[in-house]
Amino acid sequence: MPPGAPRAAVVLSGNELLDGRTRDTNGAFVCDDLSRRGVKVTELLTVADDRGRLDAALRHALGGEPDLLVVGGGLGTTHDDLTAECLADVLGVPLEEDPDALAFVEERVRAVAERRHLDYRETFGLARRQAKLPAGSTAVPPAGVAPGIAARSGRTRIFAYPGVPYEFRQMWLETAAALEQEAFFPDVAVRVVRVFGVGELQVGPILDALPHELVELGINVGGGEVTVRIRHRRDAAALAQADALVAALEAGVPVYSVDGRTVDDLIADELRGGGLTLAVAESCTGGLLGARLTARPGSSDYFVGGVISYADQAKMDLLDVPPGMLAQYGAVSGEVAGAMAEGARGALHSDYALSLTGVAGPDGGTAEKPVGLVYLGCAGPEGTRVRKGSYPGDRDSVRTFAATAALHLLRTALPS
255-303 pLDDT tens trace: 999 999 999 999 999 999 999 999 999 999 999 999 999 999 999 999 9
Average confidence score pLDDT of the chain: 95
Please compute the mean of the pLDDT values over residues 228-243 and round it to a whole number.
94
Q: Taking 90 as the threshold, does the pLDDT of residue 67 lie above it? A: yes
> Which parts of 249-364 are beta strand (E)?
255-257, 278-282, 303-308, 352-358
Angstrom distance (rounded) from CA 411 to CA 416: 9
> Which parts of 254-339 are beta strand (E)?
255-257, 278-282, 303-308
Please compute the mean of the pLDDT values over residues 117-131 and round it to a whole number.
92
Pairing of strands 138-140, 148-153: antiparallel
Q: How confident is the model at residue 1 (pLDDT cuts 50, 70, 90)?
A: low
Nearest to 355 by CA among 329, 322, 323, 332: 332
- Alpha-carbon distance values, 288 to 124, 295, 308, 403 (Å): 41, 10, 10, 7
Instruction: Read off the amino acid at residue 9.
Output: A
- Structural domains in the chain, CATH included, are 7-181 (3.40.980.10), 188-257 (3.30.70.2860), 263-413 (3.90.950.20)
Please compute the mean of the pLDDT values over residues 6-35 and round it to a whole number.
95
Q: How many CB atoms lie within 10 A of CB 415?
A: 9
The pTM (predicted TM-score) of the whole model is 0.86
Output the pLDDT for position 10. 98
Output the pLDDT for position 49. 95
Q: How confident is the model at residue 3 (pLDDT cuts 50, 70, 90)?
A: low
Using a pLDDT cut of 90, give the percent of the chain over it: 93
Angstrom distance (rounded) from CA 135 to CA 257: 49
pLDDT in tens, 313-325: 999 999 999 999 9
Q: How confident is the model at residue 2 (pLDDT cuts 50, 70, 90)?
A: low
Instruction: Read off the amino acid at residue 368.
Output: E
